[in-house]
Amino acid sequence: MSGTYQVIARKWRPQTFDDVVGQDHVVRTLRNAISRGRIAHAYLFVGPRGTGKTSTARIFAKALNCTGGPKADFDVNDPACLAIANGSHLDVIEIDGASNNGVDQVRDLRDTVQYAPAQGKFKIYIIDEVHMLSAAAFNALLKTLEEPPSHVKFVFATTDPQKVLPTIISRCQRFDLKPIPPELIVERLQKIADSEKIKITPAALASIARMADGGMRDAQSVLDQMISFCGGEITEPDVLDVYGLVSAEKIAELAAALAAGDDRRIVAIVDDCDSNGRDLVRLLSDLQAQVRTVLLDAIAQGGRSAALGEPMTTEQLTRLLDGLREGEGAVKLGLAEKINFEVTLLKAVDASRARAIDSLIKELAALADEAPAAADGEKKKD
C-alpha cells in the first residue's frame, strides 16, 4: 500500500482546463486560442508558487497533442493525454531551468527542434523556472525562439519574470496567474476532504487557506500533513497548534486593542500568544490583513469605520498599518522576536493616534480665519 500512496498535491493536480482553480482569465484565453486556431509559438506563465503554472502548461500540451486535436475539451483517458500526464510522451519535453541551468538540454533542444513530432501534432517544450537558465542557455534558446518551425511550441513558467531576458519575454504571449482567493481554496479543499472521507470544520479550512497565501499546492500540502497528524477528523485548534497560528477571534481581539490604544491588553494578548508557541511573524501578517480590511471599509464608508470597535479615520488606519509594516524587518530578523513585536504594536498605536502635521496646520488656519470674522461680528453688536 505504501508504494502506491500519492501526496494530495500530486493526486489532485488539475488534469483538464475545468480543474484549474482561480485562473479563469488564463483558461478562457487558451481555450479561445485553441478553438480559433490562433495558437502562438511561445507562452510565458508568470505567478507565485502553487498557483497552477506547470499544471496549466501540461493541460495546454494535452489540448494540443490529444488524439484528433488541438481541442480544449479533450478526453483525459486518451492515451496521448495519459502519456503527457505521466511524462512519457515523446513530443512533450519538460526542462527544469533550476537544474544544471539547462544549457545542455537547451543545446539538445536546438539540435532536435527541426525534427518532426514522433507521436503528436506538435513538439512542445515546457521549461519550468525559466528565470534560472544561465545566460548561455538563454542565448542558445533565443535563436530557436525567434524562428521556430511551425510544429514547435514553447511554454515557459516562472515565479520571477524580472530575471527573464526582455528579448525572451517579447517573443512570448504572457499570462499572469494570480494568487488563488481563500474562498476558492476552501471550496477545493472541502471537495478533496469529502472525496478522501475526511471530516474537517469550516474554521480549520479557513485557517489552512489563510496560511496558504494564495497557493493551492501549499494548501494541499498542509491538508496532507493535517491528515497525517489528526487522522479522519480535523478541527481548527489542531491546525493552529501544528502551525503555530493564532485564531481569527484572537487576531480580531488584538486589532480591537490596537484601535482602543489599550497597551495593557495588547501586552497581555502577546504574552498569551508567545507562551502558547504561536508564530509572531505570521500574527503580524494576519494583523496587517485585518487592519487593511478595516481601512478599505473606512474608504467605502466615506473616511471612517468603527469595525474595530472604535471609530477610526482612514488617516488613523493608514498610520496604524504603516506602523505594523515598518516593524516587519525587526520582528522577522531581530534576536528578541517578542520584544520587537510588542514595540512594533505599541509604536503603531502611537502613530495612529498622532495627528498628521499638515492636517493640523489646515485646521489651525481654518480656526484663525474664523476668529477675526467672529471678532468683527461681536464689535458690530456692541
Strand residues in the chain grouped as ranges (E) = 42-46, 92-96, 123-128, 152-158, 173-176, 199-200, 233-234, 304-305, 312-313
CA distances from 341 to 57, 119, 211, 270, 348 (A): 42, 59, 20, 8, 11
What is the third-level CATH fold of 248-356? Zinc Finger, Delta Prime; domain 3 (1.20.272)
Taking the alpha carbons of 244, 199, 3, 11 in that order, is the dihedral positive or negative? negative
Q: What is the pLDDT of residues 84-143, one digit of tens each?
A: 988 888 889 888 887 766 677 777 777 888 888 888 889 998 988 888 888 778 887 887
Q: Quick one: CATH architecture of 182-243?
A: Orthogonal Bundle (1.10)
**131 contacts: CB under 8 Å, gap ≥ 6:** 97, 158, 159, 160, 161, 162, 163, 164
Q: Give one DSSP letter per residue of 60-94, joined into a string.
A: HHHHHHSTT-S-SS--TTSHHHHHHHTT--TTEEE
Q: What is the pLDDT of residues 259-306, one digit of tens each?
A: 998 899 999 999 999 998 888 998 999 999 999 999 999 999 888 888
Task: Say which residue, 371 or 38, is predicted with more confidence.
Answer: 38
d(CA 68, CA 2): 38
Using a cut of 0.85, tell me whether the model's pTM lies above it: no
Q: What is the pLDDT of residues 36-58, one digit of tens each?
A: 988 999 999 999 998 999 999 99
Q: What is the mean pLDDT of residues 26-35?
A: 92
CA proximity to 323, closest of 354, 299, 302:
354
The CATH H-level (homologous superfamily) assignment of domain 2-176 is: P-loop containing nucleotide triphosphate hydrolases (3.40.50.300)
Q: Does the pLDDT of residue 4 top 80, yes or no?
A: no
Residue 379 pLDDT level (bands cut at 50, 70, 90): low
Angle 223-199-56 from CA coordinates, rounded to 5°: 40
Where exactly are the structural domains of the chain? Answer: 2-176, 182-243, 248-356
- Which grid coordinates belong to 36? 480559433
